[in-house]
Structure 1
Amino acid sequence: MTQKISRRGVLAAGAAMAASFALPRAALASDGPMTLSATTRVLDIDGRAATVLGLENAAGGQGLTLDPGQRFRADLTNDLAERMIVHWHGQIPPNAQDGVPDMPMPLFAPGETRRYDYAATPGTHWMHSHVPVQEMRLLAAPLIVRRPEDLAADRQEVVMFLHDFSFRTPQEVLAEIRSGAGHDDAMPGMQGAGVADPHAGHDMGGADGAMPGMDMSEMEEMAGMDMSSGAMPGHDMAGDGMAGAAPMQMDLNDFDFDAYLANDRTLSDPEVVRVDPGGRVLLRVINAAAATVFWIDSGDLAGRLVAVDGQPVRARAGSRFGIAMGQRLDIAIDLPAGRGAWPVLALREGAVERAGLILATPGAHVPVIPARAEQAAPPFDLDLAQESALRAATALEMREADASQMVMLGGQMQPYIWTINGRVFEERIPVPARQGQRVELVFHNMSMMGHPMHLHGHHFQVVAVNDTRFAGALRDTVYVPPMSRVTVALDAGESAEWMLHCHHMPHLASGMMTTLAVRG
């Protein structure tokens, strides 16, 4: 997925695979609406045919690219034989166009077309089904909205769209995960068995538990714990475990997928993006995986992280950045002069599997990269060091919060139940807010898996990690590792119920959703 933009704003084509994810600007300049269709497609996964879903544009590729200031006007048609709906992740449409089943619009019937029309939010975003089993079947695609500076820059844009994939049906995958047989990839000394059953006496939000609106002291008194440290009493993240209890383990991955994809391809046949010697690249990375956190490793290429979730940040130099499900990274790369080929890899956290693409000048030797590394990649951001280092290029206006709401993240591997404030979605009590309020949400993860928390209809700013406050990145999806607290601030928008959920699809499918209920 690549597009090259000169200072005159002229696009140059990339590799054949890349073209399937890119629209020429001329195709977007017409007065009529863009078109998208939810359809099936066939991929070659290591020599084996796989039928998956997709979101096809008018040019026959996947996803949409908008010019600066262009309105999102699109007709979406369901060409599948099943009902579906699409959420515009990172965008802030009217609530009726947000794309959540029955909130308020029902699923599309087969053959149905609906029009979407709203002011587009610039940045690297994406679109996906809000039916978990459909997203796991790759019903997702990039949604890129350029800024004026993108057209002015003399650089090549490359989109890296990541997936995890199984030849089994999502229903079979979910059944295996829930049975406990899916994977046993835990860090020694940190096991989710130490997490209380959300329906037992330590329920953090059941019938006798905490409700939205309770303050910190009430939560502490109810739970019999001091939350100021971000850890449970007696808990040692190095592995000593709960006082008087068996050692605890953190679960990194609860399923081993058959393949990990970058732009629909494995490393047995990766996309090779042709680049100019000494050129400049903006790598737009989108983690569309159902249940996999990645490290983006540019190897010998020094990069600068310039945006997260489509929102600019003060540039951070580095060659390895982590990305959780639903998140995006924009990485600026200056290529060396002369001929060369440079792999950019997505490393599965806590494991040896990897995906990626290769940037290569014409005539350069393209290396063969094994799909499995010799060493496992480390866990992602357990100490929130990456998140703590990010600073928004333009922060929210400084003001005191009008309300602070605790959002407790809980659950366990057996039985496989994941909750917000101790409740699954069907039993939820919405998190309250009033339109125009400055609201702080305190995500407190008391489980032994990390949770990428996504809020619809809003962008928020990370303002605290555990007890440290700072003016962090603007986001729509924030990763909360085990036994940690992340606080975000937002200005409550349209009066409506907006989805708030974990973007780990098996967690979402097992109940880890609620809503932010904004009232006028």
Structure 2
Amino acid sequence: MVLRLTRRQFIAGSALLGAALATPGAQAQTRPRFLKIDTRTLVVNGKAARVFSLTESGRHSGLKFDPGERFTVALENRLTEPSIIHWHGMTPRPEDDGVYDTGYGAPLAPGETRKYDFPARPGTHWMHSHHGLQEQALLAAPLIVRTAEDLAEDAQEVVVLLHDFTFRDPAEILAGLTGTPASGGGMNHGAMNHGAMSHGTSGGMDLNDVEFDAYLANDRTLDDPEVVPVERNGRVRLRIINGASATAFWIDLGGTLASAIAVDGNPVTPLVGSRFPLAQGQRIDLMLTVPAGGIVPVFARREGDTIRTGLVLAAPGALVPKLPERTPAQEAPVDLSLETQLRAPTPLPARAADMVQEVMLMGSMAPYAWTMDGQTWDTRNRLTVKAGQRVELTFWNHSMMAHPMHLHGHHFQVVGIGDARFSGAIRDTVLVPPMARVTIAFDADNPGRWLYHCHNLYHMAAGMMSEIVYA
């Protein structure tokens, strides 16, 4: 006799198994994963480009883990140049963080394999190069860690990785911004006269300091978007990752309502809307239903511009119309309108801060220089804390560009915007708009040396990076 299970029964059984594996004292069956850094050919706007790839066993982009699985990964560098991968959203020991600026090891040499083994933190995360400007050349991929509750949702999972793309060598772009000679650090795609400074402004703000050739959702533009067939119950969990190097987006569902249920891999009290801001490095999980016979476009609209990218969720039998890449109206700057409303269902335990520190974000477009407390990485002011402390950092932006600030090795809670205090979302990356103040709190529970920096790749490369140190 053959036993046939419905999809709902299969998911329910998987959830029970996942819950058992995730129970304290239970040992998950963890199979080693093999992740390869390599190159591939990508066709963008009808032209071929050589870009990087980050695939499991050379096949699937990125990694997905089931409940209870450890992050047990062998990373192989198949490039002819050094590289290293940062596990954005994971909280391992500092030597496993995938950086070397803080003195932990070195990049992987060509042909080298390095092993990692640590508990996988649940949620929608991603991984990307932390070596030179390789991230701009698409050396990034999703990193998804499911929970038993995720499997029990009976929702179809759709992962969306956003990129900004250029045919130029990223080193040439940085050199053009800073006025210094190019020094390499990315893949040379060929000569096209794009990728220079944009100088876009909005209400005194500087927006989009780099112009790109295309904006991608899962490697495709709206000229040929991915169309995702949706199962008949229509329920979809979107895991959206902004992997762009220098572009913030508004996620626009074309009027369809969705519930934001997580940011940066951490649950939030559900918040309903059809437009959601997403800065570089940030992630958002949205739960929605695609109507029978219908479609839901998932647009990512570039701030301060009319261009957009995205994909389409399509119910069985739905007709998918041509979706223009340009809109009549220019999109607004990404802001903190969502951040002020997000609430963590499980906030940090109530406790007074042991250390309070202001960090000044400073810089300008001309000369192109970005600093923290007036210092670049080479002259940085290390922030020294003590293990066990509750630390509050207030990022005070004294520049006219927004800065998405990312802290390695920790997740923090947003506890203040300006003078307003609240129990906001748990995150690892927070946007700090021009002339704004954003306060975060975290517990110093992972000793080591940890980077914190702007996740605009060119701002970081021009100096906006420092470190937090404790033993």
TM-score, normalised on structure 1?
0.82
1:435 corresponds to 2:381: no
Distance 1:132 1:449 in 2: 22
Runs (4+) of structure 1 moved beyond 6 Å? none
> Quick one: which amino acid aligns to residue 223 of structure 2?
S
User: 2:459 is paired with a residue of what secondary structure?
Assistant: helix
Range with greater deviation from structure 2 (285-294 or 55-64): 55-64
**1:5 positional shift:** 7.0
Distance 2:53 2:7 in 1: 26
Distance 1:511 1:161 in 2: 26
Question: Which of 305, 309, 313 is the matching residue for 1:351?
Answer: 305
Question: Which of 476, 488, 499 is the matching residue for 2:440?
Answer: 488
What does residue 281 of structure 2 align with? Answer: 326
User: 8 Å contact 2:410–2:446 — kept in the other structure?
Assistant: no
Distance 1:147 1:364 in 2: 31
What does residue 81 of structure 2 align with? Answer: 82
User: 1:177 is paired with a residue of what secondary structure?
Assistant: helix
Range with greater deviation from structure 2 (318-327 or 340-349): 340-349
1:311 corresponds to 2:266: yes
Distance 1:132 1:454 in 2: 17
What does residue 379 of structure 1 align with? Answer: 333
What does residue 247 of structure 2 align with? Answer: 292
Shift in alpha-carbon separation, 1:40–1:75, aligned structure 2, 3 A: same
1:120 corresponds to 2:120: yes
Q: RMSD in angstroms over aligned alpha carbons? A: 1.7
Matched ranges for 1:20-419 at <5 A: 31-58=30-57, 60-103=59-102, 104-179=104-179, 182-188=197-203, 190=204, 250-336=205-291, 338-381=292-335, 384-419=336-371
Larger relative contact order (CA 8 Å, sep ≥ 6): 1
Alignment gaps of 5+ in structure 1:
12-28, 191-249
**1:59 positional shift:** 6.1
Shift in alpha-carbon separation, 1:477–1:364, aligned structure 2, 3 A: same
User: 8 Å contact 1:5–1:151 — kept in the other structure?
Assistant: no
**1:366 positional shift:** 0.9
What does residue 508 of structure 1 align with? Answer: 460
> Quick one: which amino acid aligns to residue 163 of structure 1?
H
User: 8 Å contact 1:453–1:500 — kept in the other structure?
Assistant: yes
**1:351 positional shift:** 0.3
Shift in alpha-carbon separation, 1:445–1:102, aligned structure 2, 3 A: closer
Distance 1:161 1:5 in 2: 26
What does residue 428 of structure 2 align with? Answer: 476
> Quick one: which amino acid aligns to residue 174 of structure 2?
L
**1:44 positional shift:** 1.4
User: 8 Å contact 2:234–2:315 — kept in the other structure?
Assistant: no
Distance 2:337 2:7 in 1: 34
**1:278 positional shift:** 4.3
User: 2:340 is paired with a residue of what secondary structure?
Assistant: helix
Shift in alpha-carbon separation, 1:10–1:391, aligned structure 2, 3 A: closer
Deviations 1:447-490 (A, max 9, x none): 00000000000010001111000000000000000101000000
Deviations 1:266-325 (A, max 9, x none): 111110000034411000000000000000011132101110000000011000000000
User: 2:59 is paired with a residue of what secondary structure?
Assistant: coil
**1:394 positional shift:** 0.8
Deviations 1:202-225 (A, max 9, x none): xxxxxxxxxxxxxxxxxxxxxxxx
> Quick one: which amino acid aligns to residue 339 of structure 1?
G
What does residue 214 of structure 1 align with? Answer: none
